[in-house]
Amino acid sequence: MIDLAVNLLRLGLGLGAVFFVGHGIQALALPISGEWRKLEQAAMNFGLGTVALTLWMLALTLAGIPFSLQVTLVPPVALSGVILILKKRSEKGMVRRAHPAENRKPKTENLVWDRIFLALLALLLLFATLRATFYPMWAWDEIATWGCKAQVYFMSLSLDLTCIEAHNYYPNLVPFLLTYLYLCLGQVNDHLAKAVFPLWGAMLLVILGFLLRRMGLTRTQTRGTVAFFALNGTVFIVHLHLAYADLALAYFALGGAGLIYLWLQDKAPRGSLAVAAVMFAGMAWCKYEGPPLAGTVLLAAALTLLWLRPPGLGGRLLRLGIPGAGLASGYLPWKVYLIKNQIEAGSDHIMGFYPHQLLPSLGYLVDGLFNPFYFGILWPAAFLALVWAGRRLFNSASLFLALFLGGNLLAVILAYVVAPTGAAEFEMYVRATLDRLLLHLTPVAALAVGEGVKELGEGPGANKSPALFPNPHHNPL
């Protein structure tokens, strides 16, 4: 019992350090932190912290320095501490801008529903946390890839790929994070370390909630939409307790795409593009599918700007270079490692062009989107919300959501058309991957649902075009 308490304390301190490192990075990114709510900051800090810590571990690898708790943890924590102290000094005497939500009258549209939605989410997270921490890793990719690598890295105190032959080119954010937690625990404890995944899911839900609030949803609408996302189908729920990288990618994709979406609407708090840049780095560094996914966010944002032609178009397009730089900073260090070690990337997923796989892929995709087993009725609801928007879709930033989601659904089909599988194993290959590819996009689809939900609460006199760049001079950097 004492052992368990000590381990829980070590785990808590280890995870706390991740938040602290993220807090330091966010302090660098945000001019004045008063525009961000504490909980919102914490949810972002977790992602920023994981990116910083694990990229630091990659830097140690490239420098040939073996992992240890001191070497892994002390420099990033010390750097964060220095940043926070300097930030505090520089902010002395400055007036913090109030969060826009603070200026609104507190609305409690429906206290009963508020509590019901919160209770549902709390029950889900309780189940996921117990499920993750009571049972050891035994799902396929936990023991074949992510957990296996973490165990080897911990034992050899380095990025040792001797146990992996097929997927050694996969980025290492998740294995490094697990390795770091093993260093904190002083042992390979794969059930306690899994606590990080329900935490990741909870942070994703918090980010989703704040994005929806900033989009203009009321509190009840926000909580309802978050519950609608979390409790629809089995895929998200199962990934809350699996040591896979897909939940992490979904988190970073939501953070990156969501902040860009707010920025397109001039609803983003200052510093959003810089925070989005770190989210883009996280996308590139946590999964092989991350860089193209991040690329589609940038492409959808650029196309939306070009279509809508807001004032200061050129400057806005240039500012997309900030998240673009984040993408490069998450992608390039690992690419350098791969080149240096002559590791070939991606040949087991991308080989040639197999047009006969096109139609079956389309069928599987439709099944993945509409079969309630996977995502319930979330995707049909998202499509309805986009259709509901009607012509407004083409003269508002909602176009970004449509382009991002539509473009990625096409990309999923393309991914299966270039996948080198035999006829006999094609179905198995799709079934083993499709739900996860859709999971990366589903939180962003929930933003589309949010747009539809917002419409429900708007009366006839409400502004029907909230996303038409109401203040072109506002610079949310």
Partner 1 sequence: MTKAKVWLVRAILLLWSVQLIWLAWYFAPEVKELAQSVADRRLGEEVRREDPYYRWLQSLAGLIPSGATYIFLDDYEAGKEIIARYHLIPRKHVLLSPNVPPIFLFYKVRQEKAAFVIIRDKERPPGPGLSAALGSPAFQPLDVPGPGLVLQVDYLKVRGEFYD
Which residues make up the interface to partner 1 (CB under 8 A)? Answer: 120, 127, 130-131, 133-138, 140, 143-144, 147-148, 151-152, 155-156, 162-163, 189-192, 228, 231-234, 237, 372, 376-377, 381, 384, 388, 455-456
The torsion region of residue 392 among left (phi > 0), alpha (psi -120 to 50) and beta comes to alpha
CB nearer to partner 1: give 137 or 203.
137
Q: Give dist(CA 300, CA 318) in Å, integer.
A: 14
Tell me the closest approach of the beta carbon of residue 383 to partner 1, in angstroms.
12
Please provide residue 455's backbone torsions phi and psi, each rounded to the nearest 5 degrees: -60, -35
Q: Give dist(CA 137, CA 143) in Å, integer.
A: 7
Tell me the closest approach of the beta carbon of residue 151 to partner 1, in angstroms.
6
The torsion region of residue 20 among left (phi > 0), alpha (psi -120 to 50) and beta comes to alpha
CB nearer to partner 1: give 235 or 417.
235
Tell me the closest approach of the beta carbon of residue 251 to partner 1, in angstroms.
22
> Tokens 């609407």 — which residue?
265
Tell me the closest approach of the beta carbon of residue 144 to partner 1, in angstroms.
4
CB nearer to partner 1: give 184 or 300.
184
CB neighbour list of residue 413: distance below 8 Å, 6 or more residues apart: 358, 361, 362, 365
**Closest to 237 measured CA to CA, from 120, 145, 335:** 120
Joined together, the tokens standing for residue 402 give: 């449509």
Tell me the closest approach of the beta carbon of residue 302 to partner 1, in angstroms.
33
CB nearer to partner 1: give 34 or 136.
136
Tell me the closest approach of the beta carbon of residue 183 to partner 1, in angstroms.
17
Q: Tell me the three state secondary structure of residue 245.
A: coil
CB nearer to partner 1: give 223 or 267.
223
CB nearer to partner 1: give 54 or 151.
151
Say how many C-beta atoms besides its own lie within 10 A of residue 153's C-beta.
25
165: DSSP letter:
S
CA 208 to chain centre: 10
